[in-house]
Each structure stands twice: as structure tokens, then as C-alpha cells.
Amino acid sequence: MNSGRHGMGNKLKKGVPFKGTSFSDLLAGLIYVLIAASVLVFILWPSIAIMVKSVYYDGQFTLAEYIKLFTQNKQLLLNSIFVSVFSTVLAVVIGLFIALFVSHSQNRGKRLTFAVLLLTMISPPFVSALSYIMLFGRRGIITYHLLGLTINPYGWHGVVIMQALGHASLAALIILGVLRGIDKSLEQASLDLGADSLRTLLKITIPLAKPGIIAAALIAFIQSLADFGTPAIIGGNFSVLATEAYMNVIGLYNLPRAAAMGTLLMIPALLMFIIYRRTVENSEYFSLRVSTESPLKLSRGVNYSLALVTASFILFQLIQYITILWGAFAKTWGVDFSFSLRHIQAVEASRLAAFGRSLEYALIAALVGTLLGMIIAYMVARKKFPGYRTLDFLVTLPYMIPGPFLGIAYVLAFHNKPLILTGTAFIVVANCIYRQLPISTRAGTAVLTQLNPETEYSARDLGASEITAFKDIILPSLKPAFLLGFVNTFTTTMTTIGAIIFLVVPGSEVATVQMFNAIKTGQIGVSAVLANMIILVTLLINLVFSYFILRSPRYGGREKREETYVPAIDGIK
């Protein structure tokens, strides 16, 4: 019964059969229950707290804010959806091109591409937008000084481009994780049957990567819906729900309306999620045997277009990061680009404490959060307990809520009995963990959906406990997902400000808060220095972590097998 045949989806639904009660299995059960409970406490409970705010205030129940929204602010909702759809499609297309470039093309520069992908995950808030303005603004270095154009960069097009490029890195990494795991013998079969390489790519490779593509789309879409920073800085007159919601909290102090906007944002996100579930559930392809090398020899045309998109992406991103780097050493950013060390000298030692705090929070959040994400992915994709769909949805929920709301939601939920956590470092870390959980979980399920469960079944048949099977079989194959989850959680914790500004207490400032304040007071050079410090340290830790995750032959003798699932990373080997 355990020897499921190739692609037998219905068998899967029943999951791994129960194999008698052992202490280890009990422990596994306990872990599942605890994790599910923590999701209820740290995701469902604060979400309810903020939603209640939108319908119950001043002591009574009312739908007034929703009615107002639909009658007066329909345009905002439409704007949000328009921008998100547009930027998602762009991000996924760019991401797919880059992923295919790394996994399938014969070009050089894969290592560089992978490093740039890791780098561009690190985008400290506001600094990127500032460098965009410096490069492409009305007086931008490229648009004005180089090309002599005076274009207006503010508006929906700027938002779409910046979001698409911003989300393309994550999309590429997610798709890459899946692409490298697909059964290359299917590609070989297609070639043997006479299809050319392009046809194989379109009919075999890309459909097989569908779980990754859809997961990337879901994440890009939700991220774009909830993004308030980009439209706030380069949107100009163009407003979306997330920015308006932010302004309603911070400016109008109108929490009920903001909460209503936040709740409304979840509707398109929810629709997207349903589409995602359907697609993924209908696409359970498993590979029996995986070979590392793709047999595809891409035609020159395909090869060049992949390389072109990837190269343009890299060029654009590098220019942006070089601008930020330059900003730290330029005498006056934007006016006098001569070399100067004065900004670096202006960074005081007192800032290092906040920096250390950021690092500590980010490391804990990344390790705990990613492990949590992997286990949840396993619970959702393999165990399929009753209610696994709900769990899957709940895990995605915090991502749909714009950062500042999740911060306020946490204050509303954890400031009073029964659970008082505000004022602790724990709640800051918890917020970072649960906010980024969707990425780790999504990356994990994307890999698992595509992974044949037979190995686990065999292991269980041979008497391995559930925990052993998870540790020895699942976790190694989840390496790319684990890496992605770590990099993402670590990076966002190092760079976000939206949610945690409401949770940190005086005396426990983190690095981004300081950077943001340097920008606010006009010390652009100093904030560039801080941004570079954040970028450098984050990149370094990401690289070191990637190195260890990919190198450590903890499961001795099975290295060959691991190779097959981890290749997303051979770029940096």
C-alpha cells in the first residue's frame, strides 16, 4: 500500500499511513499540534483583532467604513489590483527567464547571476527608491544627465517597474528551486521523440515548473498589494489601497478605516490564493529519477533571449546598488560626487548596538522561522490533516496584511490579558517570523509537491520514525527551500521597518529605524553608509549560510542524491 505508483495523487491524499504508536510518533504529533496552535495564536488571533477594529468601534457594530470605501474609494481598489497584476506578470516573466538562464542555458555568468539574485533580495527601504529617483528622476543621472530627458518618473509606471524588478529576484529563486528538481528524463524523452529544444522547454519544462511559477506569482501579487513604500515614494499622484491605509493610520489616526482597507486588501489576495491551491493540487507530478544535468541544448535564439533579459536585469540592479555604494562615499549625494569619507566618519559607535540587535533578531527569526516553515510545508503538502487547507491559508494571511497593520494588530492582540507580550524582544522576533512564514512554507510546498513521496514511504516501511524520515529524507531535499526561507526571513528582518516600529520599545532600536531617521533628517550620505552596512552584513551572512547549507555533507554517502535537489545553488559552488 505504501509503494505509491508514479503520480498517484489520490493515494497521497491519505498520506503516510499510521504505523503503530511509538514515542517518536507521539512526539511528532505533539510538534504538529504545537505548531498549528502557534499559527492560531500569532496569525489568526492578531488578524481577528485588527478585523474587528474595522466593524466594531465607538462601542457599536457598523459597516460604515466598508460602505464608504466602496462608494468613494473604488478607484483605489482598482488601482491596487491593476498595479499588482501588472507587476506580478512582469516579475514572474523576468523571474522565469532568469531561472531558466541559470538552470538550462549554456552561458557563463550563472554564478554572478545567482549572487546578484541574493544581493537584490536585500533592499533597504527608501534607499532603493532614493537611488531610483537619483538615476531616473527629473534630474536623474541616467535620464537627465546621460540621455538629456526630462521625464516624469512619478506615477503608476514607476511603481510597476520598481515592484516587478524588486519581486523578480524572489520569483526567480522560487522557480529555480523547482526547476532544478524536475525530472530531466522527461525532457530527454521529449527530445528523443523529436521535439526541438524550444518546444520541450515550453511543453515539458515550464509546465513541470508550474508549482514554482504559481507560488512565485502568488507571493509577488500579495507582496505588491501590501506594498505601501514604493507607491508612497514614487507613485506621485497615483494612490493604492495600501498607501491610503497607511496614511489613514499614521495621518488621520483613523484605525477603523485603515483596518477596513486592510481587510479589503485580503479579498484579491484570497482569490489569488484559491487559484494557487487549485493549480497546485492539480499538478502533482513526481519524478522518479532525477538527473543533475538537463539534456536540453537550447537554440541560440532562446539562449540569447534568456541571457539578454538576465543581463539587463543584472545591469539595472547593479547600477542601483553601485549608486547606493557611491552615495556612501560621495561628498554630497546627487550634487557633488567627489570622494569623501565624511559620512563614514559621521557614523557613531552608538549605532553599533542597534546593529547588533538587528543581527540577533534576524538570525533567530530566520532559523526558527524557516524550520517552522519547512515543517508546516510538510504538514500541508504531505500529512494533509483535517484542516490543512485552513492552515495553509492562515500561514499566508500575515503576508496579505501591510506591515504597519500587522504591527498594530500585534499590539491590539498582545498588549492585554491573557497574553501580554508587548515590550519584549520575543514579540519583535515573533512578528518577523510569522510575517515571513508564507515564503518559507510556499517554497517548501513548491518543492514537496514536485517531489516523489516514494522515498519517504520506503523509509517508513523500513521502520524509520516520522521524525527520522523528516530529518533524513524531507529536510535534505528541502535544502533549496530552506535556504530561500532563511535568506528571505533574515534579509527582511534586517531591512523592514513597517511592522516593528510599533513593537520595539525605547532603548531597543534596530538598525533600519536608525537608517530611516537619517533619511528623514536629510543625512542622505549617512543613511547610504548605514544602508551599505546592512547590505554588506546581510549579504555576507546569506552567503556564508548558503555555503554551509550546500556544502555540509551531513548525510554522508548520499551526497550524490542531494546534488540533484540542490542545484539551484551550484551557481555559487
Partner 1 sequence: MKHKLLAMLMILVLVFGLAGCGGSSDADLPAPEEKIAADLAGTTLKVFAAYGGKDEIFQAFEADTGIKVEYLDMSSGEVLARIRAEQGKPLGDIWFGGGVDSFIAAQTDGLLESYVSKEAEFVTDQYKDPDGYWTGISLVTVSFIVNTDRCAELGVDVPQTWQDLLKPEFKGEILMPNPSISGTAYTILSGILQTMGEEEGWAYMDQLNAQIPYYAKRGGEPPQKAALGEAAVGLAPDTGEDLKAEGYPIVSVFPRDGTPWWPSPVAILKGAENLEGAKVFVDWCLSEKGQQILRDNCPRVPAREGIELPECLAEIKDAELQDIDFVAAGNARDGLVEQWQTRYGQ
The site for partner 1 (CB under 8 A) is made up of: 75, 133-134, 137-139, 152, 154, 232-233, 235-237, 243, 246-253, 255, 331-336, 348, 350, 404, 408, 411-412, 415-416, 422-423, 501-502, 504-509, 513-514, 517, 519-525
Cell of 275: 487559484
Nearer to partner 1, 421 or 494 (CB): 421
Q: Which is nearer to partner 1, 120 or 532 (CB)?
A: 532
H-state helical runs in 415-478 = 425-450, 454-461, 466-469, 475-477
> What's the rounded Cα separation, in Å, for the pair 434 and 436?
5
Select 173 or 503, whichever has its Cβ closest to partner 1: 503
Q: How far apart are CA 456 and CA 151, in angstroms?
A: 58
- Those residues with Cβ within 8 angstroms of residue 532's Cβ, 6 or more apart along the chain or in another chain: 324, 325, 328
Residue 203 C-alpha cell reads as 511543453
Q: How far is the CB of 237 from partner 1 (least distance, A)?
A: 4
Task: State in angstroms the smallest separation of the CB of 483 from partner 1.
Answer: 34
Q: Closer CB to partner 1, residue 351 or residue 435?
A: 351
Which of 195, 513 has the CB closer to partner 1? 513
End-to-end CA distance of the chain: 40
Q: How far is the CB of 333 from partner 1 (least distance, A)?
A: 8
Q: Taking Cα atoms as reference points, which of 137, 116, 86, 534 lies closest to residue 310?
A: 116
* 284 vs 509 by CB, closer to partner 1: 509
Distance of closest approach, residue 160 Cβ to partner 1, in angstroms: 17
Q: Strand locations in 237-335, DSSP E?
A: 330-332
CA 393 to chain centre: 16
Report which of 549, 552, 553 is spatially closest to residue 541, judged by C-alpha positions: 549
Distance in Å, CB of 411 to partner 1, minimum: 4
**CB count, 10 Å around CB of 490?**
28
- Min dist CB 281 to partner 1, Å, is 39
Q: Which residues contact 166 (CB under 8 A, 6 or more apart)?
A: 91, 120, 123, 128, 230
Closer residue to partner 1 (CB): 60 or 237: 237
Q: Can you name the residues that pair with 186 across neighbouring β-strands?
A: none
Q: Is 298 within 8 Å of 201 (Cβ atoms)?
A: yes
Chain center to CA of 306: 23
Which is closer to partner 1, CB of 75 or CB of 292? 75
CA distances from 191 to 181, 297, 311, 467 (A): 19, 10, 28, 40
Whether omega for the bond prior to residue 268 falls within 30 degrees of 0, making it cis, is: no
Burial 527-552 (b: 16+ CB within 10 A, else e): bbbbbbbbbebbbebbeebbeebbee
Cβ 167 to partner 1 shortest distance, Å: 21
Complex with partner 1: residue 4 or 525, whichever CB lies closer: 525
Q: What is the dihedral of CA 76, 82, 83, 87, to 10 degrees?
A: 160
Count Cα neighbours of 64 within 13 Å in the Cβ-side half-sphere.
10
Nearest 10 degrees: Cα torsion 192, 198, 203, 205: 90
Rank residues 302 and 412 by Cβ distance to partner 1 and give the closer one.
Answer: 412
| Nearer residue to partner 1 within complex by CB, 248 or 445 | 248
Helices 255-281, 388-400: axis angle to 10 degrees equals 130
- Nearer to partner 1 among residue 215 and residue 226 (C-beta): 226
| Closest distance to partner 1 from the beta carbon of 86 (Å) | 20
Query: Of 80, 213, 96, whose CA–CA distance to 159 is shortest?
Result: 80
Burial 412-425 (b: 16+ CB within 10 A, else e): bbbeeeeeebbeee
Between residues 301 and 506, which has the closer beta carbon with respect to partner 1? 506
| Least separation in angstroms between CB 413 and partner 1 | 10
